[in-house]
Amino acid sequence: MSNIRALLQSYLDSPELPSHDALLSLLEGGIAVLEGENSEYRPMATDKNAGGLLDFSSSLFNSLPIIIVPDLHGRGKFILDIMDFKLGGRSVLELLEAGEIIVLCVGDIFHSENRGRARWKQAYLDFMNGNLVNDSLTAEMRENLSLLEMVLSLKSAFASHFHILKGNHENILNEDMRQKHGNVPFCKFCDEGNMVRDFLQHAYDDLILHEIYCFENSLPICAAFKNCVVSHAEPAAFFSREQIINYHAERSIVTFALTWTANDAAELGTVEHLFNELLPEESRKSAWYFSGHRPVLGKYALRQNGRLVQIHNPEIEQVAVVVPGRKFNPETDIVEVD
């Protein structure tokens, strides 16, 4: 445990970008783990690849507490603070080592967003002047890539117990959804999607871009537990279990609907439909749906007739702690880890 903790700290503390070979090795290892996940909890799609659903609803894992982590956005310290956070006298990292907890991140590894607004604006000015690997963007990408290193290391170390879903920012090529994979080009303060893609191409090469692309598209898009369901965004529409599992065969509709939904853009009742589709009958009435994606003020916001709780507040480090057999209370079970 001390070794993995020290490794994560070294990623966070490094003043340099990861080396090409180190990053490539981590990406290849993480992709292999994702593509070879146990079908007991990640059912295989009809194309024989790992499907889009993590299904812990009836497995041996359904008695474990769950830490649900909202959008990351370059916050490596957030991941480290989660690992140090204690439940019942033991740290989350200790519980991961013992196989006694599940940590589920809802995605969005890259882009600091509002926290880095001034840095993004300066990076854009330099970018437009032809300086693609400029100081501001290098500082941004050092945060993003160190977080990626942490996520890949944790996934490889604790394959069955540490998970991350695809978010809308998992779009390294800045694709349009009309191409594939349910992606939409990202542009918030400047031209972040294109800038990050071009930075990686110039600071590294096409191979690193390709491997990050493969990693993103190996990520699942939904997780079902005994008493809750999780996706990056509020589900925009209802989909069957088979559609979620075969997410790459659904012309990107499912992925887009679970990663890009704006507030008030979802069909009412989608959460109840998904509870009926994915959860055991005895737990549907008391189940919760968790999402991030859209920022909230304070600890959380409720949607879908109070059945869905949004937990992404980028100003604080908070997680939702779901304990099987204990009724979830957003007032007490959404906790700060810093």
Q: What is the pLDDT of residues 2-60, one digit of tens each?
A: 799 999 999 999 999 999 999 999 999 999 999 999 999 999 999 999 999 999 998 77
Residue 91: beta bridge partners?
86
Residue 181: helix, strand or coil by DSSP? coil
CA atoms within 13 A on the CB side of 239: 25
Dist. CA 211–CA 240, nearest whole Å: 30
- In which band, very low, low, confident or very high, does the pLDDT at 182 lie, cut at 50, 70 and 90? confident
Tokens, residue 123: 């990076």
pTM: 0.97
pLDDT value of residue 249: 85
Sheet with 162-164: strands ordered across: 162-164, 102-105, 66-69, 318-322, 334-336
The answer to whether 232 and 259 are in contact (CB under 8 A) is yes
Q: Which domains occur in the chain, in start order?
A: 2-336 (3.60.21.10)
The helix-helix angle for 135-157 and 76-84 (nearest 10°) equals: 30
Where does the chain have alpha helices with state H? 2-13, 20-35, 76-84, 92-98, 117-128, 135-157, 192-203, 206-218, 241-245, 253-259, 270-278, 330-333
Per-residue CA distances from 165 to 29, 63, 170, 250, 305 (Å)? 17, 21, 9, 17, 24
Residue 176 in this model has a pLDDT that exceeds 90: no
Based on C-alpha coordinates, what's the Rg of the chain?
A: 19
Question: Residue 314's closest CA among 124, 120, 67, 78?
Answer: 78
- Mean pLDDT is lowest, of 14-28, 218-232, 242-256, 268-282, for 242-256
